[in-house]
Structure 1
Amino acid sequence: MVKLHDKGIYLVNGTEIVEANQDASAILAARTGVAASREAAAAGTMAYNILKDHNTSGSMDKLKIKFDKLTSHDITFVGIIQTARASGLEKFPIPYVLTNCHNSLCAVGGTINEDDHMFGLTCAKKYGGVYVPPHQAVIHQFAREMLAGGGRMILGSDSHTRYGALGTMAMGEGGPELVKQLLSQTYDINMPEVVAIYLKGTPAKGVGPQDVALAIIGAVFANGYVKNKVMEFVGPGVDALSADFRIGIDVMTTETTCLSSIWKTDDKIKEFYEIHGRSEEYKELNPAAVTYYDGCVEVDLSAVRPMIAMPFHPSNVYTIEELNANLMDILDDVEKKALVSLDGAVEYSLKDKVRNGRLYVDQGIIAGCAGGGFENICDAADILEGKSIGPDEFTLSVYPASMPIYMELVRNGAAAKIMQTGAIMKTAFCGPCFGAGDTPSNNGFSIRHSTRNFPNREGSKLQSGQIASVALMDARSIAATAANKGYLTPATDLDLEYTGAKYFFDKTIYENRVFDSHGVADPSVEIKFGPNIKDWPQMSALTDNLILKVVSEIHDPVTTTDELIPSGETSSYRSNPLGLAEFTLSRKDPEYVGRAKAVQNAEKARTAGERPEDVLPEIIPVINAVKKDFPDASWKNTGIGSTIFAVKPGDGSAREQAASCQKVLGGWANIANEYATKRYRSNLINWGMLPFLIPSGMLPFKNGDYLFVPDIKKAVENKVSGIDAYVVSQDGMVPFTLGIGELTDDERSIILKGCLINYNRV
């Protein structure tokens, strides 16, 4: 089904794979008559050429990228614009689209969700942006329909910003990276490696894009095969896939931890742009005749079967056939893994979902940027036609990804087919993907065509003793399961001919409802602030030395951003930095906030010229021990802050608040064996936090310990890679070394000044 090549490959004429070994040059010369160098062949990727067109550095090793367009949704754009305003924003220099698809329901926190929406509308008017009201479209569908363009680059503040199937290189990053673009600065990265995703064959009837995506994720996530790399989709199998099918695979590439994605384009993508009235945006993209890739994931589409990603990660994949054949063993394994993911906070069971030897599901959801596409829902409607989902526990909800899609489903009858089964059609909303919609009952098991199934992504609360869980599946197999009234069923079990309805896009919905400034700013507009919208608190510059208290220690193999700052109803408070910070690590380490605040109070006393010892007496022996070996250390040159240790933090969402919440609570650093994603590490840096590293298996400190990092300011300034640090104990100072990884000069300046706002503030 999926094969990983253990070395780089050459792709000849877009179809033939040649292993990059000692015989490669001779083989290539025989095939093409040209002995291309590896360096020249690497410049033949589609990714290389798009990055080259957007690079401003003059060096293809150290890129400084300027994007064509930006996009955010309503739990990120307030913080981004507030940061940019504090840094001197006067107008949006490039198109910036503000969608409202996360806090759409305005159901939690009184007026604060709609207050954020009005903030967005007035900012779009004042600074010259585009505002998409709630329920009109999820962020990524609007971008596909109205923003994508061949050879273009889009930066979004949502991790699933992926439009590669349409020939657009898109990246999801934390808010500060969008702030840089709003201030006409650049996105700075080393030239990424590019991995070929070589597709061949044709999917079997009943196999959908989520099945292919999950098969790939299962093969590459744990080993980091494509981590921080660009996935480039090539090969003859691409031709067999519709535009919607490609989009459905592409959006899930985020779950591999890749940097971005790009696909070769053809007449099917040209037709997509024509349908949406934007034929001028189509550009044919292909790799060069001889192209070198740093790796290759070979996917036989004809061998892919309906897949299921069991709790609690998209990489925990099985074929549905395999699960059904080994049901109790696999469920037992999931329950054991849950002990790690849930820290034993609640009792968790799936084996009690087995009825008469079959797995019974409580809920099905087809939704959002992954599941809410036209073809997914039409195929689901074909499966469900004339069926009933039954009057028992099982429920089914379907969320089209945009109002134009919804309108066409009504016009062609697909919506009626779904609704007559007892299923519910709902408006465009991202809630089921991040824990703010369709929460099952306690111990409920939900199957969803959405993007993630991390703990709490279905809305349960461990701290309240509540637990439900999500498995990811394709819309077709969800519909097949619904047709069997909740008993898990792969769509390939059905003998069915799909109607293959044609899509007609009606843009009048957007013309009638979306505000588009067409890039014209109106400085006279007053921004509308609700009472929950707060400015970022002031943040201090890095001091000469640091005393850090370890206030949380997490040993899970991977820590998601959902665990660092939970999603769901907490999203309503993301316009209030201090209010949101109260939820930091609340589902993983409920004591974290209190510990961090105690340390922060000492730092507040220090910066006010008072004695930190008076508010945090436990620091007295710490500073005394430090002064024995470092007599020049004093409260004038030594800051006090908190840090957390996690093995591999930052998988999942692009949300900057995973870092900023720690910062506003006095966090100065993270310490990790590695960072799960570039975007989380970037978030730390942009909020002035040190992204420290220690080798795996070496943990010289424990939760509650104090650490001393002397001359940290000089170390950052002088680009020191190995930084001296000490565990301060009753027995004295125990030395160890912290790594910090590669930092650009701008990143060093941001850390030295305390955060991106300070860096930009005149």
Structure 2
Amino acid sequence: MIKLYENGVYLLNGTEIIEDGPDVREKLKVLTGREIKKEQAAEETIAYRILKSHNVSDDMENLNIKFDKLTSHDITFVGIIQTARASGLEKFPVPYVLTNCHNSLCAVGGTINEDDHMFGLTCAKKYGGVYVPPHQAVIHQFAREMLAGAGKMILGSDSHTRYGALGTMAMGEGGPELVKQLLNKTYDIRMPGVIGVYLTGEPVKGVGPQDVALAIIKAVFKNGYVNNKVMEFVGPGVASLSADFRIGIDVMTTETTCLSSIWKTDEVIREFYQIHGREEEYKELNPGEAAYYDGLVYVDLSAVRPMIAMPFHPSNAYTIEEVNANLKDILHDVEEKAKVSLDGAVPFSLQDKIRNGRLYVEQGIIAGCAGGGFENICAAADIIRGKNIGADEFTFSVYPASTPVYMELVKNGAVADLMAAGTIVKTAFCGPCFGAGDTPANNAFSIRHTTRNFPNREGSKLQSGQIASVALMDARSIAATAANKGYLTPATELDVEYTNPTYHFDSTIYANRVFDSKGKADPDVKIHFGPNIKDWPSMSALPENLLIKVVSEIHDPVTTTDELIPSGETSSYRSNPLGLAEFALSRKDPAYVGRAKEVQKAQKAIEEGKCPLEVVDELKEVMEKIHTRFPQAGEGNLGIGSTIFAVKPGDGSAREQATSCQKVLGGWANIANEYATKRYRSNLINWGMLPFLTKEDHTALPFENGDYIFVPEIRKAVEEKQSEIKAYVVRDELKEMSLYLGELTDTEREIILKGCLINYYRG
């Protein structure tokens, strides 16, 4: 089904794969009649060409990218604009679209959420942006319909910013990276590797895009095959896929931890742009005659079968046939993995889901940027037409991804078919993806065509003794399960005649409701501020010497941003830095906030010109030990704060709040064996936190939770570009250890020295 090449490959004329090796140059010469150099062939990828056209420097190894467009939703745009305003924002320099698809349910947060929406509308007017009202579209569907363009680049403050299927290289990053674009600065990265994804064959009846996506994620996530690289989709199998099908695979590439994605384009994509009245945005994109890729994922689409990603990660995937055939063993394996993910905080079992030898689920959902597309919902309606979901525990909800999609589903009868079967059809909303809508009952099991199934992401609260879990599936198999009243069923088992209706886009829906400034700013507009919209607190520059206390220690193989700052109920506080910080690590380490605040008292005392030893008693003994070797450390040259250790933090969402919450609680650093994503590490840096690495295995660390670590001359080390930093664990005596900073650009170093991105731009 899927093969990963061990070496780089050359792709000739978009179809012939030649793996790199000792005799490859001669082989290529015979096949092409000319000398093929790897360096030149690497420049023949679609990704390289797009990056080159957006790089404003002459250096193609160290890129300075300017994006064509920006997009954010309502739990990120307030913080981004507040940061940009504090840094000197006068006007949005490129189209910036503010959607309202995460905090749309104003019952969750009351006026807090609607105040954020009005903040967005008034900022769109004041600074020259676009405002999409609640329930009109989820962020990525609006971007597909109205923003994407072949050969363009879009930056979004949501990790699933992926429009590669439409020929647009898009990236999801933390808010500070959008702030840089709003201030006419650049996105600075090293030239990423490019991994080819070669598609061949065509999907069998009943297999959908989520099935293909989960199969790919299973193959590449754990080994980091595409980590921080660009996935480039090529091969003859692309032509067998509709635009919606390609989009459904593409949006899930985020779960591989790749940097971005791009696809070859063809007449299918031209038709997509035609349907949406934007044919001028189409351009044919293909790799060159001989293109070199750093690796290749070979996918036989005809061999893919309906998949299910069991809790608690999209990579924990099996075919549904496997699960049904080995039900007890697979459920037991999930329960064992849950012991790690949940730290034993609550009892978790799936054995009660076995009924009459089959897996019973309590909930099915098709929603958001992954599941809410036109073709997915039409296929679901075809499957469930004439059937019903029954009157037991099982419920079924469908959220079309935009009002234009919803309108067409109403017109063609799909909504009627779904509702007649007992399905609840709702408006465009991302809530089911992050725990703000359709939260299951305690111990319930939900199957969803959404993007993620991390622990507690569906809305359960470990601290309250609640746990539910989510498995990811394609809309087709979710509908098949619904048709069987909650018993897990792959869509390939049902004999369904798919109607495949034609989609018609009604542009008047947006024309009537979306505010578009057409890039014209009105500085006289007064911004709407609600009482929950707060400015960022002041942040100190990096001190000469640093004393940090380890206040949380996480030994899970991977730590998600959901575990660092929960989604769901916290969404209403994303505009309130201090209010939101109260939730930091609340599901993973409830004592973290109290520990961090206790240490922060010392830094606040320093900033107020007081003695920190008088407010945190344990510091007296700590400083006495430090002074035995570093007598000069102290007044005027010392900063005191907290740090956390995690093996591999930052998988999942792009949300900057995973780091900014630590910062406003006095965090100076993270220590990790590695960082799960580039965006999480960037968020640390942009909030003035040191992205320390340790080479020590997490089972044999030289420090533990509660230890103080003294880092002498840290400011000098950053200024002088030292990669290895000598630090000391403060116990009965100072125990030397090494920390590492990895590669940092000059700009990143300056941001850390200044204390955060806001300080950097203030000068």
Which one-letter code corresponds to 1:432 in the other structure?
A: P
1:169 aligns with 2:169: yes
CA-to-partner distance for each residue in 1:156-199, whole Å, 9 max, x for gaps? 00000000000000000000000000000000000000000000
Counting only pairs closer than 5 Å after superposition, residues 653-664 of structure 1 correspond to structure 2 as: 653-664=653-664
Query: What letter matches 1:665 in structure 2?
Result: L
Residue 721 of structure 1 and its aligned partner are, at CA, apart by 0.5
**SS, match of residue 254 in structure 2:** helix
Q: Does 2:719 match 1:717?
A: yes
**1:143 alignment counterpart:** 143
Query: What are the equivalent positions in structure 2 for 1:126-137 lying under 5 Å apart?
Result: 126-137=126-137
Q: Aligned partners of 1:536, 1:570: CA distance in 2, in Å?
A: 17
For 2:485 and 2:458, how far apart are their aligned partners in 1?
Answer: 21
Pairwise CA RMSD of aligned residues?
Answer: 0.6
State the shift of 1:32 in Å: 1.4
Q: 1: CA distance between counterparts of 2:208 and 2:670?
A: 40
Q: Deviations over 1:678-731 (max 9, x none)?
A: 00000000000000000141410000000000000000000000000000012x
Shift of 1:24: 1.4
Q: How many angstroms does 1:495 deviate by? A: 1.2
Q: 1:364 matched to which residue of 2?
A: 364
C-alpha separation in 1, matches of 2:331 and 2:691: 37
| Structure-1 separation of matches of 2:715 and 2:526 | 41
Q: Deviations over 1:472-509 (max 9, x none)?
A: 00000000000000000000001122111000000100
The letter for the 2-side match of 1:293 is: Y
- Structure 2 Cα separation of the partners of residues 172 and 15 of structure 1: 30
Q: Which letter maps to 2:34?
A: V
Q: How does 1:226-305 map to 2 (within 5 A)?
A: 226-305=226-305
Deviation digits for residues 95-117 of structure 1, max 9, x if unmatched? Answer: 00000000000122231000000
Residue 700 of structure 1 pairs with residue 696 of structure 2: no
Residue 126 of structure 1 and its aligned partner are, at CA, apart by 0.1
Distance in 2 separating the partners of 1:267 and 1:176: 37
How far has the Cα of 1:420 moved from its partner? 0.2
Taking the aligned partners of 2:34 and 2:293, their CA distance within structure 1 comes to 17
Q: Quick one: distance in 1 between partners of 2:688 and 2:135?
A: 36
Pairing 1:475-624 to 2, within 5 Å after superposition: 475-624=475-624
Provide the rounded CA distance (Å) in 2 between the counterparts of 1:272 and 1:747. 40
In structure 2, what residue type is equivalent to 1:643? T
Distance in 1 between the 2:200 and 2:610 partners?
68
Q: Where does residue 152 of structure 2 map in the other structure?
A: 152
Give 1:382 shift.
0.3
Query: 1:399 maps to which residue?
Result: 399
AA matched with 2:760? Y
Query: 1:624 corresponds to which letter in structure 2?
Result: E
Q: Distance in 2 between matches of 1:736 and 1:200?
A: 51
Match of 1:463 in 2: 463
The reply on whether 1:180 has 2:180 as its aligned counterpart is yes
1:628 Cα deviation from its structure 2 partner: 1.2
Q: List structure 1 runs of 4+ shifted beyond 6 angstroms.
A: none
* Structure 1 partner of 2:747: 746
Q: Deviations over 1:504-536 (max 9, x none)?
A: 000100000000000000000000000000000
Task: Write the mapping of 1:640-679 to structure 2, written as runs, cut at 5 A.
Answer: 640-679=640-679
Distance in structure 1 (CA, Å) of the matches to 2:109 and 2:618? 38
Task: Give me the whole-angstrom Cα distance separating, in 1, the residues matched to 2:38 and 2:110.
Answer: 59
Identity of aligned residues (%): 78
Q: What is the rounded CA distance, in whole Å, between the counterparts of 2:687 and 2:590 in structure 1? A: 23
Equivalent-residue separation in structure 1 for 2:194 and 2:715 (angstroms): 35
Q: What SS does the aligned partner of 2:410 have? A: helix
Structure 2 unaligned blocks of 5 or more: none
CA distance in 2, matches of 1:608, 1:77: 32
Secondary structure class of the residue paired with 2:628: helix
Q: Distance in 2 between matches of 1:271 and 1:322?
A: 38
Match of 2:691, SS state, is: strand
1:233 and 1:326 mapped to 2: Cα distance? 33
**Distance in 1, Cα, partners of 2:550 & 2:343:** 19
What whole-Å deviation, never above 9, does each CA across 1:135-160 have from its counterpart, x for those lacking one? 00000000000000000000000000
Return the alpha-carbon distance in structure 1 between the equivalents of residues 397 and 484 of structure 2: 15
The letter of the residue matching 2:311 is P
**1:608 and 1:161 mapped to 2: Cα distance?**
42
Aligned equivalents of 2:21, 2:744: Cα separation in 1:
33
Counterpart amino acid of 1:142?
A: F
Residue 729 of structure 1 corresponds to 731
**Cα deviation, residue 576, structure 1:** 0.3
SS at match of 1:81: helix
SS in 2 for 1:629: coil
Q: How far is 1:26 from its partner?
A: 1.8
Structure 1 gaps, min length 5? none
Counterpart residue type for residue 681 of structure 2: R
Amino acid at match of 2:721: K
Equivalent residue for 2:472? 472
In the alignment, the residues of structure 1 paired with residue 553 and residue 184 of structure 2 have an alpha-carbon distance, to the nearest angstrom, of 38
Aligned residue type for 2:136 = Q
Q: What is the aligned partner in structure 2 of residue 41 from structure 1?
A: 41
Q: Which position in structure 2 is the counterpart of 1:6?
A: 6
Query: In terms of mean alpha carbon deviation, does 54-63 or 607-616 score higher?
Result: 607-616
Aligned counterparts of 2:358 and 2:343: Cα–Cα separation in 1: 28
Partner of 1:687: 687
2: distance between equivalents of 1:414 and 1:23? 56
For 1:719, the aligned partner's letter is: K
CA distance in 2, matches of 1:292, 1:33: 17
Which secondary structure does the structure 2 equivalent of 1:297 belong to? Answer: strand
| Alignment-derived partner of residue 630 in structure 2 | 630
* Count of residue pairs the alignment pairs up: 761
Amino acid aligned to 2:607:
T
CA displacement at 1:23 relative to structure 2: 1.9
CA distance in 2, matches of 1:629, 1:374: 67
Shift of 1:28: 1.4
Partner of 2:335: 335
How far is the alpha carbon of 1:540 from its aligned partner? 0.2
In the TM superposition, residue 635 of structure 1 has moved relative to its aligned partner by 2.6
